[in-house]
Chains A and B, each alone.
Chain A
Amino acid sequence: MGIIWFHIRKAFTLFRSEVLVLPSRVAVLVFVVALLVLPVFTQDPYLLRVLIFTSVFAIFAASWDLLSGFTGQMNFGHALFFGVAAYTSGLINVHFKVPYFLSIPVGAFAGVLTGLIVGIPCLRLRGTYLALTTLAFPIILMGLVFSFPDVTGGELGVMGLETLARSRIHVYYASVISMLVLTSIMWKITDSNTGILFHAIREDELAVRAGGINTTRYKLLAFCLSGFFAGIAGGLYAHIMRTVGPSTLEVSLSFQVIIWSIFGGIASIYGPVAGVFILFPLAEVLRAFPKYRMLIFAILVLLTLIFMPQGLIPWIRDKIEKECPRCKVRSIATRKTCRICAASLD
């Protein structure tokens, strides 16, 4: 009993000294709680549907960030992982009656394999060449989809997938909890030694290699991990939609994920998540101005990128928090001294 009490007290102390002291962490806490309790206040099917898609695309955007944001491997064809997993989940669910709780992980595994297949030829490429090569892969796969319509369903795609859950609330919780868990895992990965190496590869690959580290292995690992998480997003999407079609491989989807991520702030995981949670519902709000919807959307994104080149979330974070020049720990902007080492923050 004493041990339990000790851990509760420890957790509470940690919560008070590490979460409540920083506005960004409080914001994340409020966001998570709000998402989890939302259905208690409203069960509006339209709102829930928008948030379901937002959650799925948040996983997808974070998976792009894990690869392109952290390792700098600019992937312009990220829809490939999403589409491969969606088709894999859909095909095995429809043809072999594999239930969704297995078909989604199998789809994610197909995403990992795709990561390997794409990663190997892309290892020696950089910059524009890498971007264009990755862009080509989903287009090639789209060609295959249309070439074998008996298997892939061609233009119509695969239909009649098992639904993720009978009620909208269940689908909502399945997607939101998946998003929270998977993005936390991705964030943990980027915070680990592996994540630091990913970061280092982006900054100076030659220096990392000179340090005796096999960068090829880490770059491939990034492709596979990214493929895995994007694959789960693809599998979830397939079972939510109950159909998978060529639109899951479209170039526009690959570009959309880049816009979401850069808008939110790359190399952070939470930035792309926030980007999707702002931009996807915003596109719905802008339905009020149907003629100018895309124009307003484009102008807003453009202005954000002009005035906040690091992305919206890092910009806000820099306004409300300060980093200690000595110990690098962040404190609320109103503090004059660092909350850890008491160094002056001005």
Chain B
Amino acid sequence: MKRSSVFGVVLLFLTLVLCSGFHAWAADPIKIAIVGPMQFTQGEGHWNGATMAAEEINKAGGISVKGTKRTIELIKVDSNEFLSIPDATNAMELAISKHKADFVMGGFRTEAVLVMQDIAMDNKKIFLGCGAAHPELCERVTKDYDRYKYWFRITPINSKHLVAVDFILLDMVAKAITKELDIPKLKVAIVAEKAAWADPMVKIAEGKLPQMGMEVVGVWRPSPTATDTTAELSAIQRAGAHIIFTTFSSSVGIPLAKQAGELKIPAAVAGINVESQKDGFWKATGGKGDYGLTVNTYARVKITDKTIPFFDKYLERYKEAPNYNAGTYDGLYLLKTAVEKAETLEADKLVPVLEKTEVTETAGKLVFTKDHDVTWGPGFVTAIGTQWQDGKNLCVWPNGWQGVKYEGTVEYKVPPVMVEHYKKKK
């Protein structure tokens, strides 16, 4: 064999060896398990938000750890937590022990998240909660810091603050009606789905509404899955309610809004209605749910500089507006900032850094409280109020609340059917 041929073969061999070993040179990816009910819209939100963030971060080179760029590898883990709690715990164990996740993110049903939280804490894994609102999850951090310090809540704001936003929105609606229709004392119908989480809400509303100068004309508790609410609505109409104060997380939010529109009930529908946060609400109610108001997290409004680009990109890619579980997007960016600051993935070293990290992401400025909850209030995450106006779910709150008004926010509109009814009466 000629000397040049030998040289060529050796060169080829070396090239092949180098190429095959190329992966060994690259730093291992950072594994992040997204644990959620993936067969439901909540889990889809978790996954979609995280996917968008991971792709963006990876495109920009990844997360820098001690000068080495490491990409993100997402692991999709279906917790099936709506149907089975053991399934959810198995999913969390699978994410940590089999998939060797460096971090876990997600969770929705509080009863399941509590157990999943324990598994993550047993393994000293940082768990970024993106779905469950119950305060207990964060109160555990205060009660037993050493054990539960690895838990942080990204989204939503905790249920106590959700209630606060709910009443601020009610007050805004009441003021708008009083201003436009000059009604001396407003009557409110409390309509809450028959579910445990709504019970305290009803109690609080019954006590608080008279203090706010309003009269409670009755409490109605339809089934969360009711498909006909005409009986309740007829009674509400007879009671002369000006506001229908809703507390809905389930499908009943659709028939109530639709039938209130069909019956042309002269009252403003406002409160919590998770169904009306979704894009499909307009189609589902045939447009009859117009002028309904709900507490929300995302709308096409400039909460921060990042909100509208995120909202548009999400809408374009998934053909629907992001729900609050898509806050995994913010979670991933927060993690990137903290890891780059701490220069480590070690949970014990990362926790104090996360506690002090302040980042401005799509839902607002993320800063953790002492119990690792997301801070609520002006300058931080506020949540928003959205009202359907002619087929668009628009942000109507905060609109000057404690100096906060997001660019793109519009004025709340009193439903025209109500205006017409009460002006004709006069």
Q: Which of B60-68, B89-97, B380-388 contacts A (4 or more CB under 8 A)?
A: B89-97
Q: Is B262 an interface residue (CB 8 A)?
A: no
Q: Is the CB of A44 within 8 A of B97?
A: yes
Interface size on B, as a range, is 20 to 34
Contacts of A140-154 to chain B: CB distance below 8 A: 146, 149, 154
- B90-106 contact mask (Cβ, 8 Å, vs A): 1 or 0: 11011001100000000
Q: Is A155 an interface residue (CB 8 A)?
A: yes
CA distance A60 to B383 in the complex (A): 45
Pick the contact of A252 from B83, B94, B118 — CB < 8 Å? B83
Given A45-B97, A252-B83, A283-B87, answer yes or no on A156-B114 (Cβ-Cβ < 8 Å): yes
- B114-135 contact mask (Cβ, 8 Å, vs A): 1 or 0: 1100100000000000000010
Chain B interface helix/strand/loop/mixed = helix
Q: Is A287 an interface residue (CB 8 A)?
A: yes
CA distance A154 to B38 in the complex (A): 26
CA distance A291 to B110 in the complex (A): 24
Given A46-B93, A149-B196, A287-B94, answer yes or no on A241-B115 (Cβ-Cβ < 8 Å): yes
Q: Is B408 an interface residue (CB 8 A)?
A: no
Q: Is the CB of A284 within 8 A of B90?
A: yes
Given A156-B134, A290-B39, answer yes or no on A53-B197 (Cβ-Cβ < 8 Å): no
CA distance A120 to B83 in the complex (A): 31
- A267-303 contact mask (Cβ, 8 Å, vs B): 1 or 0: 0000000000000000110010011011000000000
CA distance A283 to B78 in the complex (A): 12
Q: Is B85 an interface residue (CB 8 A)?
A: yes
- A141-183 contact mask (Cβ, 8 Å, vs B): 1 or 0: 0000010010000111101000000000000000000000000
Q: Is the CB of B89 within 8 A of A241?
A: yes
Contacts of A194-253 to chain B: CB distance below 8 A: 241-243, 245-247, 252
Q: Is the CB of A241 within 8 A of B98?
A: no
Contacts of B183-212 to chain A: CB distance below 8 A: 196-197, 199
Q: Is B20 an interface residue (CB 8 A)?
A: no
CA distance A146 to B196 in the complex (A): 6
Q: Is the CB of B98 within 8 A of A46?
A: yes
Q: Is A343 an interface residue (CB 8 A)?
A: no
For A149, the chain B residues whose CB sits under 8 A away are 196, 199
Q: Is A49 an interface residue (CB 8 A)?
A: yes
Q: Is B76 an interface residue (CB 8 A)?
A: yes
Given A46-B94, A46-B97, A46-B98, answer yes or no on A156-B89 (Cβ-Cβ < 8 Å): no
CA distance A53 to B196 in the complex (A): 28
CA distance A50 to B97 in the complex (A): 12
Contacts of A39-65 to chain B: CB distance below 8 A: 44-46, 49-50, 53
For B136, the chain A residues whose CB sits under 8 A away are 156, 159
Q: Is the CB of A246 within 8 A of B90?
A: no
What is the distance, in angstroms, from A22's C-beta to the closest C-beta of chain B?
34
Q: Is the CB of B85 within 8 A of A290?
A: no
Q: Is the CB of A53 within 8 A of B90?
A: yes
CA distance A159 to B111 in the complex (A): 10
Pick the contact of A50 from B90, B110, B111, B134 — CB < 8 Å? B90
CA distance A252 to B87 in the complex (A): 13
Q: Is B5 an interface residue (CB 8 A)?
A: no
Q: Is the CB of A49 within 8 A of B89?
A: yes
Q: Is the CB of B111 within 8 A of A155?
A: yes
Q: Is the CB of A155 within 8 A of B110?
A: yes
Given A247-B85, A290-B76, answer yes or no on A49-B90 (Cβ-Cβ < 8 Å): yes
Contacts of B30-89 to chain A: CB distance below 8 A: 38-39, 76, 78, 83-87, 89
Q: Is the CB of B114 within 8 A of A243?
A: yes
Q: Is the CB of A243 within 8 A of B39?
A: no
Q: Can you list 8 A-B contacts (CB < 8 A)?
A: A45-B93, A49-B90, A156-B114, A156-B134, A157-B111, A159-B136, A243-B114, A291-B39
Known: A154-B196, A252-B83. 6 other contacts (CB 8 A): A49-B90, A53-B90, A155-B197, A241-B85, A241-B89, A247-B111
